Amino acid sequence: MRDELTGKPQRERTDLHGTGLRYKVRYVDPEGRERSKSFPDRRKKAAEDFLGEMESGVRAGTYLDPDAGKVPFREYAESWVKGQSSDASSRQSIESRLRSQLYPFFDRRPVDAIGPARVRDWLAWLEERRLDGTYRAVLFDTLSSIMNAAVEDKLIRDNPCQARSIKRPRRSTHRVVPWPVERVRAVQEGLAERWRLAADVGAGLGLRQGEVLGLSAGDLDTAEAVLHVVRQLRIIRGQLVFAPPKGGKSRTVPLPDEVRAAVAMHRRSFPPTRVRLPWLEPGGRTVEVELLLSNERGEPHSGDHFNKVMWRGAFRATGLVYAPRTDGMHALRHFYASTLLAGGVSIKEVAEYLGHADPGFTLRTYTHLVPSSHARARQAVDAVLGGGANSSDGLRTA
């Protein structure tokens, strides 16, 4: 278009006016490479601030590559998982949490775009799904660990999970109510005969379900009256494997006469079966174990199959109402712990027999089951301050 008076060309604004990149910032990163970033019209102040931040970071040693944090959350998390526990079952649990509760929300979002506001929205989303408080706390710890790693890898400057506005989910507190012995016996009677031993060793030795299903006759030392808990049966990526007990630590548990007799009786009716499975994870070296518990074909069962068929079948057979929260096989461990505490066994010993790494966890779980020592405390003080059991003078002051 030309000006009517001068005839000179005249510029005319189009829809693209002001939308181009007008300012270009150049700086040298700590590796000596020249970097640049462009800014649109009317963003001169933003360009200057960016340049100042980059140069300041280079001088102070706190420089972050502005492009490093653009990696998608899922991609970074998948890399992070590889550096976690070498235990296949632990990695499988972490991967399951990521797939079900983190990837659906964060997925392709860049790591540096996950701020406190996004974390708060995610926590609200988890609460709307009515997830248990303890599970939400575990999920939060998983996200926080990933973002901590991102800080260490210099993808982001701060972990958004540690912002003051973020409230970590509180773990649920479910008071353990041990089964009465009558319920233990009823479930035991309801189990099919070849699986009845599971209730005997669960209630009498406090084993976890995988440890029960992976139990071998060779684990019993009848001379010393102990059981060596050295393995469990797990399912990893859809395949049964043998693995060390939870935490990778074996332990020794006292062997009561009742349990020893139950094992002997079971072996007469159902001789141990040699089972060869991978150790730790599919494709690993195989080990052969003489299992005490197996089906009619001499095959072991996964915990899921045992729960759905044998365990719940015992409730149906006896007419007992099954409550998922309190009636899982873990109830036998609670029964075992409560029995020991009622018998005066110390918390430290109970923790050792249950395979708890922290006796404090055992105390927090079962503290309400520890017999009261109030009477013994009163008697002890009265015996000293009262001058003897028959004294009626009480405590005198000078």
The pLDDT assigned to 22 comes to 76
Asked if pLDDT for residue 322 goes beyond 90, the answer is: yes
The single-letter code of the amino acid at 394 is: G
For residue 273, what pLDDT is reported?
94
> pLDDT digits over 43-62, tens only?
888 888 888 887 787 787 77
User: How many CB atoms within 10 Å of residue 302?
Assistant: 17
- For 245, residues 6+ apart whose C-beta sits below 8 A from its C-beta are 208, 211, 229, 230, 231, 232, 251, 355
Predicted confidence (pLDDT) per residue in 185-206, tens digit:
999 999 999 999 999 999 999 9
Fold of 181-324: hpI Integrase; Chain A (1.10.443)
What average pLDDT does the segment 151-161 reach? Answer: 92
pLDDT attached to residue 102:
97
Beta bridge partners of 274: 290
* Structure confidence at residue 398 as a pLDDT band (50, 70, 90): very low
Q: Which of 62-66, 138-142, 227-231 has the lowest mean pLDDT?
A: 62-66
To the nearest whole percent, how much of the chain has pLDDT over 70? 90
Under 8 Å between Cβ of 143 and 115: no
- Of 386 and 158, the structure prediction assigns the larger pLDDT to 158
- Give whole-number Cα distances, 31 to 28, 62, 66, in Å: 8, 13, 14
Q: Does domain 84-162 correspond to CATH entry 1.20.1600.10? A: no
What is the per-residue pLDDT across 242-253, written as a single tens digit (0 to 9) for each?
A: 999 988 899 999
Question: If pLDDT is split at 50, 70 and 90, which confidence band does 267 have?
Answer: very high
Shortest CA distance to 235 belongs to which of 328, 330, 329, 303?
A: 303
Q: Which residue has the higher pLDDT, 97 or 388?
A: 97
**Position with higher pLDDT, 5 vs 114:** 114
Q: Which residue has the tokens 């550096």?
A: 83
The more confident residue out of 215 and 398 is 215
CB 187 within 8 A of CB 335: no
Sign, CA dihedral 256-258-262-265, equals: positive
Nearest residue to 187 via CA among 335, 328, 318, 337: 318
What's the CA gap between 233 and 209, in Å, rounded? 8
Identify whether the C-beta of residue 160 lies closer than 8 Å to the C-beta of residue 119.
yes
Output the six-digit token pair for 370. Answer: 């520890």
Helix (H, G, I), strand (E, B) or coil at 5: coil
Residue 2: predicted pLDDT: 58
What whole-number distance in Å separates Cα of residue 148 and Cα of residue 157? 10
Q: For residue 216, what pLDDT is reported? A: 96
Least confident of 45-49, 188-192, 282-286, 341-345: 45-49
Taking residues 157-174, what's their average pLDDT? Answer: 92
For the chain, helix, strand, coil in percent to 5 are 50, 15, 40
Residue of 228, 117, 100, 106 lying closest to 163 (CA atoms): 117
Which tokens is 392 given?
A: 């009626």
Distance CA 96, CA 99 (A): 5
Q: Which of 15-19, 316-320, 351-355 has the lowest mean pLDDT?
A: 15-19
pLDDT score, position 397: 45
The confidence score (pLDDT) of residue 43 equals 83
Give the pLDDT confidence of 217-226 residue by residue, as tens digits: 999 999 999 9
Task: Specify the pLDDT at position 19.
Answer: 55
> With 90 as the cut, is the pLDDT of residue 307 above it?
yes
Q: With beta carbons less than 8 A apart as the criterion, state whether 347 and 370 touch.
A: yes
What is the pLDDT of the chain when averaged over all its residues?
88
Q: Going by C-beta distance under 8 Å and a sequence separation of 6 or more, which residues neighbour residue 290?
A: 216, 217, 218, 272, 273, 274, 275
Distances, alpha carbon 45 to alpha carbons 42, 63, 286, in Å: 8, 20, 65
Q: Can you tell me the mean pLDDT for 227-255?
A: 93
The pLDDT value given to residue 7: 60
pLDDT tens for residues 94-138?
A: 999 999 999 999 999 999 999 999 999 999 999 999 999 999 999
- For the chain, what percent of residues have pLDDT higher than 90? 62
Specify the 3-state DSSP secondary structure of 301.
coil
pLDDT over 60 at 262, yes or no = yes
Confidence of residue 16 (pLDDT cuts 50, 70, 90): very low
The residue ranges of every structural domain in the chain are: 21-63, 84-162, 181-324
Instruction: Report the Cα–Cα distance between both ends of the chain, in Å, rounded.
Output: 114
